[in-house]
Amino acid sequence: MTLTPLRGLIAAPFTPFRAYGSLALEVIPQQAAALAVNGVSGAFVCGSTGEGASLTIAERQSVTAAWIAAAPAELRVVVHVGHTSVEESRGLARHAMKVGASAIAAYAPTYYKPATVADLVECCALIASEAPDLPFYYYHIPSMTGVNLSCSAFLSAARDRIPNLAGIKFTHENLMEYLACLRFEGGRYDILFGRDECLVAALALGAKGAIGSTYNYIAPVFRELLGAFALGDLALATERQEQANRLIEVMIQHGGQSAAKAIMGMTGIDCGPCRPPLSTLSEGAIARLRDDLAKGDFAAWANVTPPALSR
């Protein structure tokens, strides 16, 4: 197994549905091609943005296989296999390895939660062991799981327990803890940042890779952010962060995930409705969202959809 770090922007794609709720797998090649054209280096599938918790096991396997089949060579596919049941997670991990994923990730069980770092490590070890040829990332997202155990303590306890541990998908605002993970054993692990709206701060601490939902539809502004930061132009990088945040704020004001999926349609790729309990925006709500995005200069920063794949 090669633990090649993930770098750059990794999008967390939406799972496409038809109007009546079934999977629209035929849309995934469009999504994959658009990410590659817009300079995104990877796809983190079946995670929070992908409504993975609302999919059946069979659906998650179908989405995973479709992404791996559709992804161009330069687009690495990381499969989220977390589940309330560790046994289901193990099965998803085996499937991801079988169909050729680049890596797997899992968040903590969210009903019966691990109470200690040792409990969390044991859960992750059971999952990671089912895909020993793949890098494994712990997905830290306490806002959704309710599990907020120390990530640096996790690394310390897991380093000898999980041979294929690659790092952490760190979706939290605790930058002190993020820095501790980045510096753990001289930067031994790949600590991917998961809060799009404060990416520039994470870069200043040493982040090299980021996983986020908005890279699905406004990757160009974040690519300019990364480029400016690499050149030492912190003023321009911060300006681009502010631009992205104006658009993110509009998305949040109009319904968060529901609005984000509607925005995806505005880039030329219709991913359909959200699955309950998430709501889907009405046509009137989408029109209001479009108007407010225009005020934030959305068209200048929206992802480009490859013409050959446009509907």
Residue 86, C-beta contacts closer than 8 angstroms, at least 6 positions apart? 109, 123, 126, 127
Question: Distance between CA 35 and CA 28 in Å, rounded?
Answer: 11
Q: Could you say which of 169, 178, 189, 217 is catalytic?
A: 169
Q: Is residue 14 a contact partner of residue 50, using CB atoms and an 8 Å limit? A: yes
Q: Could you say which of 107, 137, 138, 139 is catalytic?
A: 139
261 catalytic residue (yes or no): no
107 catalytic residue (yes or no): no
Q: Please give the positions annotated as active site.
A: 139, 169
